[in-house]
């Protein structure tokens, strides 16, 4: 089978997809038929329900008619009245439901006049009962006209019902057939799909697993170091392409191993020569590094001492400057406190004057409130007089009314006047009582106000005395603040002089520190260069040793691979001895250059210490004096 894996899987899944599509189409068609049958069955039930409802309405109309004939009571006609309103609507509904059935329409055309005749017969007997009484209506019923009409109606409606039930049975049978077809299709289709999927899956799996297993076995052989294994897979699918690529990879790996075997021999020999030369230079560089370290330590020690002195002077300078600044701030704060104390004293004087005015106003208000209380008491006395007059007037009005009653008809007008006078006297008495109550409340509140005013007068006097004491205290604070301000100004001047002297000393120390740091830096550079060169030599020796070990390991590793031409066996022989003279000469030249650089740096350091350097902030570096 020369198809690709994708085509094989496409064929398998395509076959199953086709089966699923067939099952789906058959199921869809069967389900659609079942749904259509269900809709038609539901329509039949609606027709049967409407016919049954119309028969119930006719029966209710007849029951209402008979009840009225027997009793003569109007409420027995309620079923009749309800039925005749609904019968026409039910008949139209049946016509609409069966409009596609010509036989039913013809039956309805026959039954409609019969229904109207039945309703007319019922109405006629009801009218006879109303107009002529029970006997006349009974005679009409006994004739049997209504019964014949009812029998014909039941017969026609029964035919329609029988045909609808026949249709319902047929549709139910169709439903069962469609359901059986759907079940069979799903069952057998699933079985067929399972069998096809199993067969196709087995074929595809066998076509993939066997070549892959063969390729895995070959990979295991190559992983163990045998590069002579051959891949034998002749399929043209993706597995065959993978096998071909794997075969090419093994061939390329075989060539690489053969080249590595040849190169590892040369690497091992060169690394041994490099290691020997590096060890010879290492001892010389260690001696040079030791001498430079001693020189760097002396210069560094001197720089540290000068730097410590510079830091102490900087701290002293900062402390003096901070002291001068604090003295100036304290003098300024003292002056502000003196001015605030003076402003407070003036404010206290103003407050004393205001308290005097408040005390006078409070006294005047207290006298006015006291006078108001006396006036209220006088008003209460007047109200008492008004109350007595009202009582006397009421009494006189009562006597006048009695006299008017004795006078009879002639005194009736006088009696009316006396009654009005009595009412006026009562109102006057009530108003006087209310005024008396208000005056009493006013007197009580006035007394309370007088007491509060007296308390306020005492508190104002106490506040006046406290403000006067505060004024005296503020004057004393002002005098003390002026004295403190004078002393702080003197301290500030002295601190500024000390700060100027400290800055001069700090500048001198900084110059010495700069010279020491420059000397230390130059020496450290020389030491660092020597250390770096020494480290380089050590790294070279270490790298040479590692390279030698790597060559040995590489030889051991590639010896595991079997390439088929005997190259790995030849590599196990003794390595060739190569000359290391070229490497030793280069290291000697590097040593001479390092000695000259150290001598030059030492000479420059001595000259800088002897001449001296000055640090300038504008140029940002050291310049020669």
Please name the residue ranges forming H helices in 559-580.
567-570
Overall residue count recorded for the chain in this entry: 625
What does the alpha-carbon distance between residue 467 and residue 354 come to, in Å, rounded to a whole number? 11
Cβ neighbours, 10 Å, residue 426: 15
**3-state class (DSSP) for residue 423:** helix
Q: Is residue 172 part of a domain?
A: yes
Do residues 200 and 257 both lie within one domain? no
Domain boundary among 167, 196, 214: 214
Do residues 343 and 479 both lie within one domain? yes
Run of H or E residues at 131: helix 102-131
Do residues 135 and 283 both lie within one domain? no
Q: Is residue 71 part of a domain?
A: yes
As given in the structure block, the two tokens for residue 220 are 């295991």
Helices H, strands E: what count in the chain?
9, 2
Q: What angle do CA 142, 147, 152 make, to 5 degrees?
A: 160
- CA 457 to each of CA 348, 355, 372, 513: distance values in angstroms, whole numbers, following the listed order: 19, 10, 19, 79
**3-state class (DSSP) for residue 262:** helix
Reduced DSSP (H G I as helix, E B as strand, rest coil) percent helix, strand, coil of the chain, to 5? 90, 0, 10
* Per-residue model confidence (pLDDT) at position 573: 54
Exposure string over 331-361, b if 16+ CB within 10 A, otherwise e? beebbebbeebbebbeebeebbeebeebbee
Cβ neighbours, 10 Å, residue 367: 12
Domain boundary among 159, 194, 214: 214
- CA 592 to each of CA 4, 11, 530, 585, 596: distance values in angstroms, whole numbers, following the listed order: 73, 82, 12, 11, 6
Do residues 302 and 155 both lie within one domain? no
Of 347, 337, 419, 430, residue with least CA distance to 383: 430
Do residues 187 and 268 both lie within one domain? no
Q: For the chain (length 625 residues), average pLDDT per consecutive 10?
A: 71 79 81 78 86 89 88 88 89 88 87 88 89 85 80 88 85 79 81 81 76 78 75 70 75 74 64 60 60 60 65 68 70 70 72 72 71 73 77 80 80 77 80 79 74 73 71 67 67 66 64 61 62 64 66 66 58 46 51 60 52 41 40
* Per-residue model confidence (pLDDT) at position 566: 55
Do residues 207 and 261 both lie within one domain? no
Do residues 415 and 523 both lie within one domain? yes
What does the alpha-carbon distance between residue 231 and residue 207 come to, in Å, rounded to a whole number? 17
Q: What angle do CA 406, 407, 410 make, to 5 degrees?
A: 150
**3-state class (DSSP) for residue 536:** helix
Q: Is residue 357 part of a domain?
A: yes
What does the alpha-carbon distance between residue 609 and residue 612 come to, in Å, rounded to a whole number? 5
* Per-residue model confidence (pLDDT) at position 622: 37
- What's 194's domain CATH number? 1.20.120.1730
Contact 24, 64 (CB under 8 A): no
Asked whether the CA dihedral 392, 394, 400, 405 is positive or negative, the reply is negative
Contact 547, 274 (CB under 8 A): yes
Beta-carbon contacts of residue 46 (< 8 Å; ≥ 6 apart): 97
Contact 104, 163 (CB under 8 A): yes
Supply the DSSP string of 546-560, one letter for each residue. Answer: HHHHHHHHHHHHHTT
Of 193, 111, 121, residue with least CA distance to 152: 111
Q: Is residue 222 part of a domain?
A: no
Q: Give the domain extent around 406.
A: 251-611
Q: Is residue 38 part of a domain?
A: yes
Do residues 205 and 264 both lie within one domain? no
Q: Counting Cβ atoms within 10 Å, is residue 621 exposed (0-12), middle (13-18) or buried (19+)?
A: exposed
* Per-residue model confidence (pLDDT) at position 20: 81
- What's 535's domain CATH number? 1.10.287.950
Do residues 196 and 273 both lie within one domain? no
Please name the residue ranges forming H helices in 143-227.
145-223
As given in the structure block, the two tokens for residue 389 are 């007059």
Contact 260, 558 (CB under 8 A): yes
Number of domains in the chain: 2
As given in the structure block, the two tokens for residue 160 are 């329609």
Do residues 194 and 285 both lie within one domain? no
Q: How many CA atoms lie within 13 A of 469 on its CB side?
A: 6
What does the alpha-carbon distance between residue 323 and residue 286 come to, in Å, rounded to a whole number? 55
Read off the DSSP letter of residue 577.
P
As given in the structure block, the two tokens for residue 413 are 């007008």
Q: Is residue 73 part of a domain?
A: yes
* Per-residue model confidence (pLDDT) at position 387: 79
What does the alpha-carbon distance between residue 231 and residue 218 come to, in Å, rounded to a whole number? 7
- CA 117 to each of CA 14, 160, 283: distance values in angstroms, whole numbers, following the listed order: 72, 20, 143
Contact 264, 551 (CB under 8 A): yes
What does the alpha-carbon distance between residue 287 and residue 284 come to, in Å, rounded to a whole number? 5
Do residues 185 and 284 both lie within one domain? no
Q: Is residue 437 part of a domain?
A: yes
Do residues 190 and 264 both lie within one domain? no
Q: Is residue 244 part of a domain?
A: no
């Amino acid at each position: 089978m020369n198809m690709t894996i994708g085509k094989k899987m496409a064929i398998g899944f395509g076959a199953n997809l086709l089966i699923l599509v067939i099952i789906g189409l058959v199921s869809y068609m069967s389900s659609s038929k079942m749904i259509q049958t269900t809709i038609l069955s539901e329509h039949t039930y609606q027709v049967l329900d409407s016919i049954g409802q119309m028969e119930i309405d006719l029966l209710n109309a007849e029951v209402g008619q008979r009840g009225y004939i027997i009793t003569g009571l109007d409420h027995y006609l309620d079923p009749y009245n309800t039925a005749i309103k609904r019968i026409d609507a039910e008949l139209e509904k049946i016509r609409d439901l069966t409009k596609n059935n010509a036989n039913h329409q013809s039956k309805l055309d026959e039954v409609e006049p019969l229904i109207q005749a039945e309703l007319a017969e019922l109405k006629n007997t009801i009218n006879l009962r109303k107009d002529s009484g029970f006997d006349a209506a009974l005679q009409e019923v006994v004739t049997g006209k209504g019964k014949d009409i009812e029998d014909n109606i039941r017969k026609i409606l029964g035919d329609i019902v029988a045909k609808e039930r026949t249709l319902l049975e047929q549709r139910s049978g169709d439903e069962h057939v469609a359901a059986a077809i759907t079940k069979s299709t799903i069952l057998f289709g699933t079985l067929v799909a399972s069998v096809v999927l199993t067969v196709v899956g087995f074929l595809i799996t066998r076509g993939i697993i066997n070549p892959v297993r063969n390729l895995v076995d070959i990979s295991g052989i190559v992983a163990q170091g045998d590069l002579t294994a051959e891949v034998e897979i002749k399929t043209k699918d993706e597995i065959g392409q993978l096998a071909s690529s794997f075969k090419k990879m093994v061939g390329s790996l075989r060539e690489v191993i053969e080249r590595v075997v040849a190169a590892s021999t040369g690497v091992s020999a060169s690394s041994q020569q490099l290691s020997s030369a590096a060890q010879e230079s290492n001892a010389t560089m260690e001696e040079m590094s030791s001498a430079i370290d001693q020189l760097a330590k002396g210069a560094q020690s001197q720089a540290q001492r000068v730097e410590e002195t510079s830091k102490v002077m900087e701290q002293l300078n900062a402390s003096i400057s901070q002291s001068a600044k604090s003295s100036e701030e304290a003098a300024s704060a003292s002056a502000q406190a003196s001015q605030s104390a003076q402003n407070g004293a003036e404010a206290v004087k103003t407050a004393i004057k205001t308290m005097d005015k408040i005390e006078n106003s409070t006294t005047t208000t207290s006298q006015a409130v006291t006078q108001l209380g006396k006036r209220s008491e006088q008003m209460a006395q007047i109200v008492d007089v008004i109350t007595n007059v009202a009582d006397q007037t009421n009494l006189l009005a009562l006597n006048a009314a009695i006299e008017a009653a004795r006078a009879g008809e002639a005194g009736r007008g006088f009696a009316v006047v006396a009654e009005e006078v009595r009412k006026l006297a009562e109102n006057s008495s009530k108003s006087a009582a209310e005024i008396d109550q208000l005056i009493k409340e006013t007197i009580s509140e006035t007394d309370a106000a007088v007491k509060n005013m007296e308390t306020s007068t005492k508190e104002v006097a106490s506040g006046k005395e406290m403000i006067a004491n505060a004024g005296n205290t503020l004057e004393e604070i002002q005098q003390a603040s002026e004295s403190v301000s004078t002393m702080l100004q003197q301290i500030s001047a002295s601190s500024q002089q000390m700060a100027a002297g400290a800055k001069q000393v700090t500048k001198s120390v900084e110059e010495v520190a700069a010279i020491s740091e420059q000397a230390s830096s130059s020496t450290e550079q020389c030491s660092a260069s020597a250390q770096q060169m020494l480290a380089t030599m050590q790294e070279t020796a270490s790298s040479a040793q590692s390279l030698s070990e790597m060559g040995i390991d590489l030889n051991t590793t590639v010896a595991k691979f079997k390439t088929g031409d005997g190259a790995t066996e030849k590599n196990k022989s003794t390595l060739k001895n190569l000359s290391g003279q070229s490497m030793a000469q280069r290291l000697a030249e590097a040593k001479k250059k390092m000695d000259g650089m150290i001598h030059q740096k030492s000479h420059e350091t001595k000259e800088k210490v002897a001449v001296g350097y000055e640090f300038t902030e504008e140029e940002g570096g050291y310049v020669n004096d």
